[in-house]
Amino acid sequence: MALYCRHFLIQLASERDKQAVCKKIGGSIQQDANEMNQVAFVVVKNPLDPKVETPGDIADALCKAVKFIAVDQLDAKDDCGYGPFSIDYQPKHGKDPISLEILRSRRLLIGARVLKMRLRGQ
């Protein structure tokens, strides 16, 4: 029995060797996995870091990932989907967490647009 997955969520921001992770993803992800195009959703922000990424930071991270992962199989995500458990470390950055997440999400969208413009040569 084989397991076919279409979407993979990868928390890339806190990885020490992002290039090695992207290379592994690019070498593993399939164009046609049982008639499904697999997509890697990479998380380029670190929720434990109080620094809010700029759109340029996000575009740079995605630009590096595109070197190893086909552009039609790469997407960005603001959250890997795994919330911290009650016993896990809960970062306190001294800011309203909802406002901080809204700001980060906006910057993710802008960063993705910047990457699209770079790829088009604009």
Average pLDDT over residues 88-112: 74
Q: What percent of the chain has pLDDT over 90?
A: 13
Most confident of 5-9, 99-103, 109-113: 109-113
Nearest to 8 by CA among 70, 56, 89, 80: 80
CA distance 12 to 10: 6
Residue 23's pLDDT is: 95
Residue 42's pLDDT is: 87
Mean residue pLDDT of the chain comes to 80
Q: Which pTM was predicted?
A: 0.73
